[in-house]
Structures are given as structure tokens and as C-alpha cells.
Amino acid sequence: MITREPTLERLAIAHSLMLEPFGLSESTLQRALATIGEHRVDDADLYFQTTRHEGWSLEEGIVKSGSFSIDQGVGVRAVAGEKTAFAYSDDLSEEALLDAARTVRTIAAAGQHKRVKLSRAPKVAASRVLYAPTDPIATLDSAQKVALLERVEKLARAKDPRVMQVMASLGAEYDVVLVARADGTRAADVRPLVRLNVTVIAEQDGRREMGSGGGGGRFGLGYFQDAVIESYVNHAVNAALTNLESRPVPAGEMTVVLGPGWPGVLLHEAVGHGLEGDFNRKGSSTFAGRIGQRVAAKGVTVLDDGTLADRRGSLNIDDEGRATQRNVLIEDGILRAFMQDSLNARLMGVKPTGNGRRESYAHLPMPRMTNTYMLAGTRTKEEIIGSIKRGLYATNFGGGQVDITSGKFVFSASEAFWVENGKILYPVKGATLVGNGPEAMTRVSMIGNDLELDTGVGVCGKEGQSVPVGVGQPTLRIERLTVGGTA
């Protein structure tokens, strides 16, 4: 069997779905880009996308809803200096494409000095092969999807008689994108994405508590075998039962230990956003102008890595057609780099880092995280917890907020424990962590050897756009964090 090189295969799939059915061709793309280039611009691109999404949900033992949607269109962008003109259409006809191109070329106002160089010969962009070009919706039939959700519900109820309610949802997405840049670059990606969520409510002596679990990534629905499903269910049930035993948490400034994996969402929010290029170019980030300076304790190394196979936050190419990278942002406490898209990289005089991302063809790209995590240290989890004289051990988080300019954050712990003299005494409820992200990174005193990435549930919001991301970290001890509590 003869197969095409993966990059060419993805381009062929994109052409077959978004160009050929609508009478578009490579010459059409060149004509649209040439239309934009009639005026002086620094950059221009076309972003085609087609997305199919299917979702199922179960509650009270029955599948209560199912959904299926298709969205497709093209975004057309021209950039001159710091200004961007953007138009999009869900009509993939040549007329609509050229009309959008004529609309955005008006960005070339007086005073712009550079004409983007248009290439006659298209060139295929370098890319990665991090996941198969699978259509996950087709990997199980409808009956199998319903049976999967029913298996989740049955397994959760069998775990403990205190489980009173089970809610589960299954989602699958098949996303194909095609990027055509003014310099002749052509790139495409075929992005599968699946996710399984389970939430349980447990009741004891009239008290009800909730727990959740789940995960997914860039593969087919066959990933959700019994062992994977059971791990999600166990996490949800154990969290609910643990919270049934929780007590009010003491408040005040204290030592806080963050568990591995999903607690890295605090790192993502409190530090990661501040390392995105646009905030730093504009000077609004607390990290602006600090490249080469110490911004965290020794031993703290933070990466954003879009090249991890099958991970939810990974991409073969970013949404500007560039291969994703493994970017070291903070190395042993020293700030080394920011995450960049093409616009901010050009204006800051650096290279793009493969972090140009957008929610859809109807949105502009901007610097965004992919999989952001801290590297492991040398201490064991038991050693770190055993070092606490009096403090909090937080293993799961719910919602949070951060101010990019000041770095201040507020996070709610959905699962946490009170520790005294190195012993976990009891679970606590209502713990809120309050602090400053950059300051918190300078107060890291112990780093575990147990780096974990989250199970594949992260969604990041920025300026009204949501994209899938990954987070992770090892067990982490931080000194003098403020804990808001109820006791």
C-alpha cells in the first residue's frame, strides 16, 4: 500500500473538503492573496476551517441529549504595522473569498512602508506528526457511544451506595484547517479531539457533595477502554466521598503544597498568560522587559510544549501554519522567552514560537499556550508533605481568576486536605488561594519528582476565545500563600 507523506496527506484532505467542492484551487488562493497585496501590508493569510462536532450526555440513567454540528468558513487577514484588518465568511465561494480579500486590503493606510512579498510558487510548511488524521466521530457507532455512557453510570453507582446521581458526557470533534500565507506557505492540519466527563453526587446524612473526573486527547473514541473509564470514575467518586468528610478550612498565610497534574492550572493562569507575547509587547504583563532576569526560585523550569504526542493542547501546526515548538519560558528561575505569534514576534524583533492560535476561522490569531507545565525536581511527594508543620495540601482546583498586569490570582480548591506535623489530618472545604503569580514562583521551596500532565480536560479563555490546552506540574511546596477559608 502506497501512502503519502503525512504533511502532504493533510493538505490533500484539506483541499478535498474545503477547496475542491466549492470550485476553489491554488490559483484562487494566489489571486485572493494578490488582491490583498495590491496595497502595502506586512503580512496576509487565509485560514480555512471545517469542523464537525458530536456530543452525547447521560443523566438519571438515560441518554438525555445528543447533538451534531458542522461549521466551516474562511478568515482573511491583512496586517500593516500594529494594525490588523480581518474579515470572515461561512461561504467558501470564490466570490466571497475575493470580496473578503478586497475588504481587508484597506488596512494599507497612509504611512505604511512595506509591501508584503508575494510568492508565485507555493511551498509546503514544515510540520509535525503528533496524532493520526482520524475522524473520531466515526470510531464508534451511536449504539457504542450510548453503551459507553451507560457503562460509566453503572460503574459509578457500583462504587458506593452513597452515590445518588451520575452525569456523564461524551464529545468528539473532527477539525480540518488550511493556512495559505502571502509568502507562499501552505500548511494544513487534521485535528481529532475527544473528551469524556463524569460527575457524581454523593449523599450522606443529608449532606450532598460533588466530584468529577474525565479526560481525553487527540485520538479516537476507542481510547476510552474499561481501565481508562474506571480511572475517571474512581477519581469522581473518591472526590465526592472525600468532600462528604470535609471540614471548614483555617484561613491565613501558610505553606501550601500543590499536588501533581491538574493543579498546574494555577501555573497556567497565574504565570502562563503573563508570558504571552502580546501582553509583554504592550508592557501590560508583570514580566515585561525582564528577559534574562530571575523571576522564580532556583529549580523552577517552565515550558510550553505543543509537540507532545496525542495531547489535548498539542498541534502539528499552529493556526498561522507554523510547526509547534518546545519553548523553554523560565529556566532554573530565569526568564528566557515569551510565547509568540507572527505579529507580536515581528514587532518585538524575535521569531514566532508556534503559539499563534485562534478559536475558529471567525477569530484572529493571538499568542496562546499549548501544553504548559513545570519540570520535575528531586523530592518525593511523601517528603514534601512530611515537611509541612501546618498548612494546606491542594490536589484539585475549580475556577480561578488572574490579573495579567499585577499577577494577582484567586483560585478555589475543589479538593484539599489539612496537614499538621507532616500528617494529612482531614479533607477541607471552601479553601481559596490568594496570591501573586510571580511572587508565588519565587516562594517555591520544594519541587517533587512526580511530574504529571492533566488527563486532557483543559480549556483556556482569552479575549473571548476558547482553545483546548494542557497543564501539568510535579508536587510543589510554596511558602506564605494566603488561604481564604471558612474557619
C-alpha cell at 75: 478568515
For residues 307 and 346, what is the distance between their CA atoms, to the nearest angstrom? 23
Q: Nearest CA to 473 among 221, 301, 227, 230? A: 301
pLDDT at 1: 41
By DSSP bridging, strand 247-248 and strand 123-124 are unpaired
Q: What Rg value do the Cα atoms of the chain yield, rounded? A: 24
Q: What is the pLDDT of residues 248-290, one digit of tens each?
A: 999 999 999 999 999 999 999 889 999 999 999 999 999 999 9
- DSSP state at residue 456: S
Which of these, 444, 455, 453, lies nearest to 474 by C-alpha position? 453
Q: CA nearest 197: which of 465, 382, 457, 3? A: 457
- Rounded to an integer, the average pLDDT of 166-182 is 97
Closest CA to 106 of 74, 83, 82: 83
pLDDT in tens, 324-337: 999 999 999 999 99
Which DSSP symbol is given to 269? I
Q: Is the pLDDT of residue 406 over 90?
A: no
Query: How sure is the predictor about 306, in pLDDT bands with cuts at 50, 70 and 90?
Result: very high
Averaged pLDDT, 364-380: 98
CA distance 176 to 8: 14
**Which stretch of 77-86, 117-126, 134-143, 414-423 has the lowest confidence by average pLDDT?**
117-126
Residue 58 pLDDT exceeds 90 = yes
User: Does pLDDT of 479 surpass 90?
Assistant: yes
Give percent of the chain with pLDDT exceeding 70.
Answer: 96
d(Cα 373, Cα 450) in Å, to the nearest integer? 12
Q: Residue 238 corresponds to which amino acid?
A: N
Instruction: Please tell me the number of Cα atoms within 13 Å of 59 on its side-chain side.
Output: 6
* CA-CA-CA-CA torsion sign (238, 239, 241, 246): positive
User: In this structure, what are the phi and psi dihedrals at residue 36, rounded to the nearest 5 degrees?
Assistant: -65, -40
pLDDT-derived band at 40, boundaries 50, 70, 90: confident
- Spatial distance between the Cα atoms of 37 and 92, rounded to a whole number of angstroms: 21
Q: Would the pLDDT of 360 be above 90? A: yes
The answer to whether residues 386 and 422 touch, using CB atoms and an 8 Å cutoff, is yes
Give the pLDDT score at 113. 45
Q: What is the pLDDT of residue 110?
A: 43
Q: What angle do CA 121, 125, 131 make, to 5 degrees?
A: 145
Does the pLDDT of residue 319 top 60, yes or no? yes
Contact predicate 471/371, CB 8 Å: yes
Q: What is the pLDDT of residue 27?
A: 95
Residue 153 banded pLDDT, cuts 50, 70, 90? very high
Cα 66 to Cα 123, 193, 225, 374, distances in angstroms: 41, 17, 21, 38
Tell me the average pLDDT across 409-422.
95
d(CA 393, CA 80): 50
Q: Are 389 and 420 in contact (CB under 8 A)?
A: yes
Give this prediction's pTM: 0.95
Contact yes or no for 56/170 (Cβ under 8 A): yes
Q: Identify the pLDDT of residue 119.
A: 57
End-to-end CA distance of the chain: 68
For residue 111, the model assigns a pLDDT of 44
C-alpha cell at 424: 494529612
Q: Residue 185 pLDDT more than 80?
A: yes
The per-residue pLDDT of the chain, averaged, comes to 94
Longest dimension (CA), the chain: 74
pLDDT at residue 64, rounded to an integer: 87
Question: Could you tell me what percent of the chain has a pLDDT over 90?
Answer: 86
**Between β-strands 423-429 and 247-248, what pairing exists: parallel, antiparallel or unpaired?**
parallel
| Band (311; pLDDT cuts 50, 70, 90) | very high
Q: Residue 142: count other Cβ atoms within 10 Å of its Cβ.
A: 11
- What mean pLDDT do residues 318-345 have? 98
What is the C-alpha to C-alpha distance for residues 127 and 125, in angstroms, rounded to an integer?
6
pLDDT band, residue 109 (cuts 50/70/90): low
Mean pLDDT of 94-115: 76
* Of residues 404 and 32, more confidently modeled: 32
d(CA 322, CA 185): 9
Q: Which pLDDT band, with edges at 50, 70 and 90, does 485 fall under?
A: confident
Say if residues 462 and 282 touch (Cβ distance below 8 Å). no
